[in-house]
Structure 1
Amino acid sequence: MLYFFACVLALILGYVFYGRFVDNVFGPDPNRPTPAQSLADGVDYVEISPRKIFLIQLLNIAGLGPIFGPILGALYGPSALVWIVIGSIFAGAVHDYFSGMLSIRHNGKSIPDVVGVQLGNGFKQFMRLFSIVLLLLVGIVFVLGPAKLLGNMSGLNVTAWVAIIFGYYFLATILPIQKIIGRLYPVFGAVLIFMAVGLTIALMVQGYEFYPQLTLSNVHPKELPLWPLMFITIACGAISGFHATQSPLMARCVSNERHGRSLFYGAMIGEGLIALVWATLGMAFYHEPGALNEALAVGGPAHVVNEISTTLLGPVGGLLAVIGVIILPISSGDTAFRSARLIIADFFNMEQRQAGRRLLLAVPLFAIGFLISKAEFGVIWRYFGWANQTLATIVLWTAAAYLIKQGKLHWIATVPATFMTAVAATYLGYAPIGFGMPLQIATYIGLGVAIFSLTIFMICFGREPDVALDQDSI
């Protein structure tokens, strides 16, 4: 139990001290007009209070990632918690902070445009396509997950729940942001908090041993390698490129740059806390990885969530906790499609005040999304995992380029960017969805790609700027 609270304390201290350090390096300007003020349109550019933005941002980025990922990551043992803590503080929260703050500085533009300003037009066009593909994968993953949970709880056909959730997504994608997202998400946030706190308290009150196998060794029952699989499996709970697609949504609603640390860095720390809870639940409730693996074989992470919540909190509390788990993916899936609409609108320079124009983009997106939803969930999740971490890597390199151009300390982004490059490249080489190489060869290639990327970055950007560069607007 002390190990758990030590991890919680580390995350909080990381926000207080390292979050402040990162914020000071960036240098927010409280007197600078934000896009919500200079480009207000009543649809996407709308001032929202910081408290509401935090809850919306947390729900936007959370999804199934900090629940399903850490449950699967729990198979590796307590080493998963180390990655959640270190990843959240030094990689994930840095990534989320810069994806939000750079969007504010670039008139609320979507992440492909922000990447293009810093890394060039080639990366911009690649990111547009890559981001839309990732957002479609996210939207589908966050339809199928809750649909299966709701199907298990209600007896209604999963396909029917998919249709119902898609209907909600469609409305949330085309309506002004304050109509649904701005009103409902703060309420959903209360359910989310109940879920995490309630289950943790129940675990303690009922006398569960938090970490029966307190070791940093790899205890995966199938002997799957910790490197690089755990760093892909636990994505949203430590670092997630999906967040970079969500931060611009709230960057268009921020009233003052000084709120950036709490809204972007802080929301990622909040997600890290959720991931800690679910990784701990997976280890403590099932006592050993083999039992957890057997539960996953019955019905995947959705079955594990249902079993843990109902057992620890009883029928009523368990229902509320499961509803919280349902809300998380739904509240990210809708904004995934909304983000995809905005990226496409930016590409075509298509103003979005008129409902007809929003429909013109949304209808094809949902048609494609429905077709993808027919694929096997496990296959979609694996592709999502790699694409997610690859996008995060590119965004970290973007943040590093921005900082070095501004003559600021770029290593806060460069170091995690180099590490994540090694993770993504190794996984692509090793995994069956990639090249299926032996792990040792894939690792050498991954490390080589990371070193090569760092070298090229330093050659292209490493010299001192000749003049003070101002790339804070486009």
Structure 2
Amino acid sequence: MISFIVSIIVLVVGYMVYGKVIEKIFGPDEGAVTPAKRLSDGVDYIEMDWKKTFLIQFLNIAGTGPIFGAVAGAMWGPAAFIWIVFGCIFAGAVHDYLIGMMSLRKDGASVAELVGENLGNGAKQLMRVFSVVLLILVGVVFVTSPAAILHNLIGSVPTLAFVGLIIVYYIIATVLPIDKVIGKIYPLFGICLLVMAVGIGVGIVVQGYDIPEIAFHNFHPQGTSIFPYLCISIACGAISGFHATQSPMMARCIANEKEGRKVFYGAMISEGIVALIWAAAAMSFFGGTDGLGVALSNGGAAVVVNKISSTVLGKVGGILAILGVVACPITSGDTAFRSARLTIADAIGYKQGPILNRFVVAIPLFIIGIALCFIDFNVLWRYFSWSNQTLATIALWAASKYLANKGKNYKVAMIPAMFMTVVVTSYIIIAPEGFVRFFEGTPTATIETIGNVVGIIVSAICTLAFLRSVNKKNALDPELSVEVE
């Protein structure tokens, strides 16, 4: 219990202290005219109050991520608390704030354009493809999962019918001005998601559930290694590349640069608190990780969320559970397709003011998305998890270069970039969807050691290449001095 409460306090303090450090390093200009005002088009560039942009950003980046991911990560016990707290404060929130503010300074540019500006044209082209593929995967995942749950709730309606209804909604939300659908309903759903989390958090504490304390012990029933699996399982709530695709949408709606810390850094910290609550609930409600493992094997995260919500919060919890496992995924899926539209439009310089232009970009995306709906959900999710964290890693390297180019303390982004490079490299080597098949017959411990060593080597190479590029720029521009604050 103490570890859980202290973890929440540390997250809040992290926002107030480290969030200000990151804000000072970036240096927002309160007097600057933001894209929402300068490029207002009534479609994607629309000025909004910071409280509304915060709630939209929170729901965009959250969805079921800090719920389902935290429930899966709870299998490792309170080690999940450590990853959520340190990952969120020093990696995820830094990632979200820097990408959001970089986009704001670049007229709301998508993450691919930001990567290209800082890491070169080759990286830009790779990121364009990578981010669009990731966004389509997110959209598809959040079509199939809520459709399946709705079918289970209303058995008389086939899953395919729900898929069709969700896709129709996605098309509407993707092409209409952001204030018509997203701007009206997202703040309400964002509040509901926060209320749901607070209710669960208070409930498990008041009702006396035994939340385990942080210990030097792997609580996973199968003994699965904490690193790198935990860092992949809990993405939203710690660090997630999907956020880099979402932040540019709100960068086009923020009225003042000083609001960036509240909207970007604050939304990530809020998501971390939600993840902490659900991790604590999952590892305590079923009497430990063994019980949680059984519950997950008998229905998955959605069943676990429904069971916890309806028991801890009663009938109200049951209603909120439906919101959590149906409405929230849908709100992530529609913004995924919207972000994909904006990314492609940015890449080809295709103006999105005329509604016909929006359909021209959106329809091919939905054709691909519909085709992917018939692929096994579990396969899609495995590849999404790795590609999501890889995108975050690339975005952090781009943010590091941006800060270095501005003569600012780039280490705040470089250090988490180095860590995440180890994570994604080691994971793809040892994971079933990666290169583990090349090590057939090799003991698991040996494969994991190889993966970690290769991950460290790749991270070291990336770091040396980055530092070389920084030093080269400094040599060409002697007046540029990098601040170390």
Give the counterpart letter for 1:287 in structure 2.
G
Q: What are the within-5 Å matches in structure 2 for residues 67-466 of structure 1?
A: 67-155=67-155, 156-211=157-212, 214-436=214-436, 437=439, 438-463=447-472, 464=474, 466=477
Shift, 1:289, TM fit: 1.3
TM-score, structure 2 length as denominator? 0.94
Aligned to 2:442: none
Question: Please, what is the CA RMSD of the aligned residues?
Answer: 1.4
Give distance in 1, aligned partners of 2:96 and 2:284. Answer: 30
Q: 1:118 to 1:313 in 2, by over 3 A?
A: same
Give distance in 2, aligned partners of 1:468 and 1:371. Answer: 54
Give distance in 2, aligned partners of 1:405 and 1:133. Answer: 29
SS in 1 for 2:230: helix
Give distance in 2, aligned partners of 1:57 and 1:272. Answer: 14
**Contact map agreement 2:241 2:392 (CA 8 A) in 1:** yes
List per-residue Cα deviations over 1:329-377 (Å, max 9, x = no partner): 1111110000000111111111011111111111111111111121111
Give the counterpart letter for 2:363 in structure 1.
V
TM-score, structure 1 length as denominator? 0.96
Give distance in 1, aligned partners of 2:20 and 2:130. Answer: 32
Shift, 1:117, TM fit: 0.6
Give distance in 2, aligned partners of 1:281 and 1:395. Answer: 32
Give the counterpart letter for 2:134 in structure 1.
L
Give the counterpart letter for 1:28 in structure 2.
P
Give the counterpart letter for 2:159 in structure 1.
V
Give distance in 2, aligned partners of 1:192 and 1:64. Answer: 9
How many residue pairs get aligned? The number is 468
Shift, 1:131, TM fit: 0.2
List per-residue Cα deviations over 1:171-204 (Å, max 9, x = no partner): 1000000000011111112211221011122222
**Contact map agreement 2:97 2:265 (CA 8 A) in 1:** yes
SS in 1 for 2:298: helix
SS in 1 for 2:255: coil
Shift, 1:467, TM fit: 6.0
Give distance in 2, aligned partners of 1:317 and 1:420. Answer: 36
List per-residue Cα deviations over 1:431-474 (Å, max 9, x = no partner): 111100411111111110001110111011135361668xxxxx
Aligned to 1:472: none
Give distance in 2, aligned partners of 1:247 and 1:440. Answer: 36
**Contact map agreement 1:142 1:330 (CA 8 A) in 2:** yes
Give distance in 2, aligned partners of 1:169 and 1:462. Answer: 46
List per-residue Cα deviations over 1:205-255 (Å, max 9, x = no partner): 3221122x7534112112211111110111111000000000000000011
Give distance in 2, aligned partners of 1:233 and 1:357. Answer: 37
Question: What fraction of aligned residue pairs are identical, expressed as a percent?
Answer: 51
**Contact map agreement 1:63 1:142 (CA 8 A) in 2:** no
Give distance in 1, aligned partners of 2:117 and 2:43. Answer: 25
Give distance in 2, aligned partners of 1:6 and 1:124. Answer: 41
Give distance in 2, aligned partners of 1:383 and 1:271. Answer: 23
Moved over 6 A (4+): none
**Contact map agreement 1:192 1:325 (CA 8 A) in 2:** no
Give distance in 1, aligned partners of 2:263 and 2:219. Answer: 36
**Contact map agreement 2:60 2:331 (CA 8 A) in 1:** yes
Q: What are the within-5 Å matches in structure 2 for residues 20-39 of structure 1?
A: 20-39=20-39
SS in 1 for 2:409: coil
Give the counterpart letter for 2:75 in structure 1.
L
SS in 2 for 1:226: coil
Shift, 1:64, TM fit: 2.1
**Contact map agreement 1:406 1:468 (CA 8 A) in 2:** no
Give distance in 1, aligned partners of 2:147 and 2:207. Answer: 30
Give distance in 1, aligned partners of 2:189 and 2:271. Answer: 15
What are the ranges of 5 or more consecutive residues in structure 1 without an aligned counterpart?
A: 470-474
SS in 1 for 2:284: helix
Give distance in 2, aligned partners of 1:246 and 1:461. Answer: 28
- Out of 155-164 and 241-250, give the one that drifted further: 155-164
Give distance in 2, aligned partners of 1:130 and 1:261. Answer: 27
**Contact map agreement 1:310 1:317 (CA 8 A) in 2:** yes
Give distance in 2, aligned partners of 1:324 and 1:428. Answer: 30
Give distance in 1, aligned partners of 2:315 and 2:185. Answer: 25
**Contact map agreement 1:396 1:413 (CA 8 A) in 2:** yes
Give distance in 2, aligned partners of 1:373 and 1:216. Answer: 41
List per-residue Cα deviations over 1:106-136 (Å, max 9, x = no partner): 1111110111111111101100000000001
- Out of 455-464 and 406-415, give the one that drifted further: 455-464
